[in-house]
Amino acid sequence: MSLQQIYDSIFDPFQNLSDENQIRIGMPTKASDGINISMLIFQPNDERITYSKRLLHFDELPYFVSSNNQPSLKIKISLLEFVMKHFNENIL
C-alpha cells in the first residue's frame, strides 16, 4: 500500500479512534507486488504504517508472496505492567 493510500481520508475515522482511545488498530490491505498478508496499522498520535508478513506458512505460498516490510512499533507498556494490570483487574 502506498504512502498516499495510507493517508487517504477514508481512513481518518480509524486514526481518530486510535488517537482518542490510545490504542492501535490493524486492518488488512492489498499489496502491489502480488498479494501480501498485510495490514494497515493506526497508532495513537503517530504515523500510519503498513506491516506485511515475511514468513509464510506452506499453505499460504500458492496464494501470497512474502514481504520485507517489517516496521517497528513503539510499545509504551511493559509486559510486567500489562500482567500486573490484568491480574489486578481480573483476580483481585
The tens digit of pLDDT for each residue in 3-18 reads: 678 888 999 999 999 8
Average pLDDT over residues 23-37: 78
Confidence of residue 92 (pLDDT cuts 50, 70, 90): low
Q: Is a pLDDT exceeding 80 seen at residue 80?
A: no
- Judged against a pLDDT cut of 90, whether residue 52 lies above it is answered with no
Burial class (CB in 10 A: 0-12, 13-18, 19+), 1: buried
The answer on pLDDT for 60 being more than 70 is yes
Domain ranges in the chain are: 3-90
The predicted pLDDT at position 33 comes to 79
- At 16 the pLDDT is 93
